[in-house]
């Protein structure tokens, strides 16, 4: 099947992509839109968010920090208020440390865990009531988590903490 062909199978659905302003997340936003979804992309960096919104004008950028539960609640609430539902939540946000474990500070380790692990839990917790509402009304509800192939490479230099939090 042609990768650019849209099927419209997500027409009328609403998706949030946490970590959707660049890289894999931005690609996910584009695919969801191509399939007909209304898409909200989040990220901590307003500059990257503005750039992504310029590249994908029909997507909505809401600044949000997945490692902060209140921020996740705000993103979910704003999305629901704007579109009236949430059908798809993609937890894609992640940070990749460039240091070996023995060189990482406690603060650096905590930030990786806060974004990659706790953030996924926070985003899920914040969006779950809206997803349940969509599921009960037969509008569909999906949670999608991006992980990493590095889980099997935790013994490799620089992959330990990241692999543990994204596998």
Catalytic machinery residues:
162
Euclidean distance between CA atoms 12 and 85, whole angstroms: 10
Give the contacts of 107 (CB within 8 A, at least 6 positions apart): none
Angle in degrees, CA 138, 141, 147, rounded to 5: 165
Q: Quick check: 66 and 75 in contact, CB under 8 A?
A: no
Which is nearest to 140 in space by CA: 15, 34, 20?
Answer: 15
């Amino acid at each position: 099947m042609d990768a650019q062909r849209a099927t419209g199978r997500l027409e009328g659905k609403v998706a949030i992509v946490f970590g959707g302003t660049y890289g894999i997340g931005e690609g996910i936003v584009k695919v969801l839109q191509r399939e007909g979804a209304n898409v909200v992309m989040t990220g901590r960096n307003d500059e990257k968010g503005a750039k992504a919104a310029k590249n994908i004008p029909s997507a909505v950028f809401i600044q949000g920090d997945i490692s902060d539960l209140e921020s996740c609640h705000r993103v979910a609430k704003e999305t629901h208020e704007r579109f009236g539902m949430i059908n798809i939540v993609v937890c894609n946000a992640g940070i990749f440390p460039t240091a070996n474990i023995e060189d990482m500070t406690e603060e650096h380790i905590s930030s990786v865990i806060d974004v990659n692990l706790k953030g996924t839990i926070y985003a899920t917790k914040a969006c779950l009531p809206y997803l349940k509402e969509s599921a009960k009304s037969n509008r569909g509800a999906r949670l999608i988590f991006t992980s990493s192939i590095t889980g099997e490479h935790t013994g490799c230099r620089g992959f330990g903490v990241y692999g543990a939090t994204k596998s």
